[in-house]
Amino acid sequence: MFFSTKELLNDALQGNYAIGAFNIYNLEGVKAVISAAEKLKSPVILQIHPAALTYGKEALVAMCLSAAEASCVPTGVHLDHSSKPEEIDLALSSGLHSIMVDGSHLDYQRNIEFTQKLTQRIHSLDGVVEAELGRISGSEDGLTVPEIEAKMTDPQRALEFVALTQVDMLAVCIGNVHGRYSKPVNLDWQRLTNIRQIINIPLVLHGTSGVPDEMVIKCIELGISKFNINTELRQAYMKTIAQSQEDDLLGLMNNVVNAMQTVVEAKLRLFGSQGKA
């Protein structure tokens, strides 16, 4: 069943659980995510990274949309980090109308202008927009505490940003890192609490690979409604292929699907979405 990502996240926010958005590159990824979601009766999002969109183009979007329609559980399809208008144009022309408009690499005012312009266009097509405010890219090594805090999401700016851009969901930075963590994860719980208290749209957390399960659960308790999963799925895919002794291609692909499905099932249970379909 194809569902709007906005509807999925609003239900999650009201129900105190989170939706898993799993990055998709090929058929095996689609099969793993949909099979896990149907097995656990969980809503889910098939998420396409811009690099994967550039590679798979309309065919990849069509496959994901078709799989969502045919699924027995509520399934959304979403374009991940999109900082180039041409990527968004390709997604929209392919029928994908849930977009992350990513201006987090820009300064605050330019992020507002960039996000506002594209949000108006996407909304005119009855689409849904995720944006990001604050970002620590790659690693926090070498940054002082004030520098790290300056890159995090400021609650009052978040309130203004949402009001001016009219986005439907907001990805926040509370100490989470895009990429690998090189030291123990340290999330700013008070910052998340303050943001949740004044923002009435669903909140998203990126960079969760490596975040301990107990922290993920606390994030949900404090109002995170969507988690992006990419690294762990790719690792399961690549490890299975590297270690396989399978000679038959379909046999190998089934092994890949099973390995990724195991990862997806664990995440759906962790996010509390099992049985929420």
Measure CA 271 to chain center: 13
Catalytically annotated residues: 80
Token pair 């396409």: residue: 48
- Nearest by Cα to 226 from 73, 23, 1: 23
The CA distance from 264 to 270, in Å, is 10
Pick the closest to residue 69 from 94, 52, 46 (CA basis): 46
Which positions ≥6 away from 64 have C-beta within 8 Å?
24, 30, 46, 48, 77, 96
Closest by Cα among 146, 208, 201 to 173: 208
DSSP 179-212: S--SS-----HHHHHHHHHH--S-EEE---TT--
